[in-house]
Amino acid sequence: MMQRLPEPRSWRANTNAEHAEMRVRWLREQLIAADTAIAAQQRIIAADGPAEIYLLSIESLRSSQRKLEHELAELMSARETEFVDFALQGRKYDGHRASAKALAVVLEGMQKLYERVGQAMGTPYPTLVIPQAIKLQCQLEVAGFFPSSFGIRFAAQTRTDLTGSSLPETSLAATFDLFNTDNPVEQAARLGQRVMVQYRHVVNTLIKAEATPKATWHTPDGQERSWIADETALITLANRLANIKESPVRQVQATGVLTGASLRRRKFEFFGDEGAITGKAPDELAAKVTQCFGKPCTITYTETRYIDETTDQEKRSRTLIDVTPT
């Protein structure tokens, strides 16, 4: 029988993990609250115009955000490793054994899926080839095996940046969102078709290997995320993913007013002749977005439609390419 692994230590040895998780949770809640307050002020400016008192209020809120981000970054610098326990269950794995060939395909598929999600979260315009920098950040290591039908512990370095964000962590969170969604087409619009194709490959690999998954991860703010699916659920999911189609990408220009922008969440909101347009705003456009906020401008963006042919549901994904004052 496989030897039981010790409890994983994600935080540095001199860190009180429970206190750190509570503080991370509080800081993130405050950052979301500040972002919500900024959005509310932006809506007022869109309706009433850029009065100085509203602009000062937004700057005060952004100053508070920066202080919160600084504290979060200091705290998260003590977070070193993310651990994911991943078990394969089924009659072929009851003896705590697994086919080396089948296991290699499953592990490679999981690693590639994590990289694809990391690419979608970390780059505004994902390409066919995953950048080496993304692969290095989203690298899973096998940290050991544990008693289960067949259990594997993955480890990934947290790698927190100066704002308290971590691409490995946010990519894990997005991966678990993907695993647990009831609306795959919504995830397709969020993460892109390349992620969905790789996800379908992982699901089909598990079906072929006659394995059902059980995965768990404890987040930096103390939540337990999990993914558990039986064979029927996997087959249903594989069929659903096969019916998600992507339209050709089109480039669009629109003239109007930039009515909302979250620099933290990299989102924009625009109102023009055709109504409201929302989408992703890459980091490199932050200065232009700030400069043009609340003013007449022209935006250029890409738009992709995702259609779930099982339900006829449609979602659109938009990414800002440029914004110029008019």
Question: Is residue 266 pLDDT above 90, yes or no?
Answer: no
- Encode pLDDT of 161-171 as tens digits: 988 899 999 99
Measured distance CA(292)–CA(282) in Å, rounded: 15
Instruction: For residue range 112-133, list pLDDT tens digits in order.
Output: 999 999 999 998 888 899 999 9
Find, among 290, 259, 256, 276, the residue nearest to 49 by Cα.
Answer: 259
Q: Is 273 exposed, middle or buried (0-12, 13-18, 19+ CB in 10 A)?
A: exposed
Beta bridge mates, 151:
87, 146
Please report how many Cα atoms fall inside a 13 Å half-sphere around the Cα of residue 211, on the Cβ side.
29
pLDDT recorded at residue 1: 43
Please indicate whether residue 291 or residue 22 has the higher confidence score (pLDDT).
Answer: 22
Say which amino acid occupies 316.
R
Q: What is the pLDDT of residues 227-261, one digit of tens each?
A: 999 999 999 999 999 999 999 999 999 999 988 88
**115 Cβ neighbours under 8 A, 6+ residues apart:** 130, 134, 135, 138
* 0.75 exceeded by pTM: yes
Q: Which residues contact 76 (CB under 8 A, 6 or more apart)?
A: 24, 158, 160, 164, 166, 220
User: Does 47 have pLDDT greater than 80?
Assistant: no
pLDDT at 4: 59
Tokens linked to 31: 């950052």
- pLDDT reading at 28 higher than 90: yes
Q: How far is CA 299 from CA 19, 80, 99, 220, in A?
A: 45, 40, 53, 37
* DSSP-based three-state secondary structure for 304: strand
pLDDT computed for residue 2 by the predictor: 46
Interhelix angle for 193-208 vs 100-122, to 10°?
160
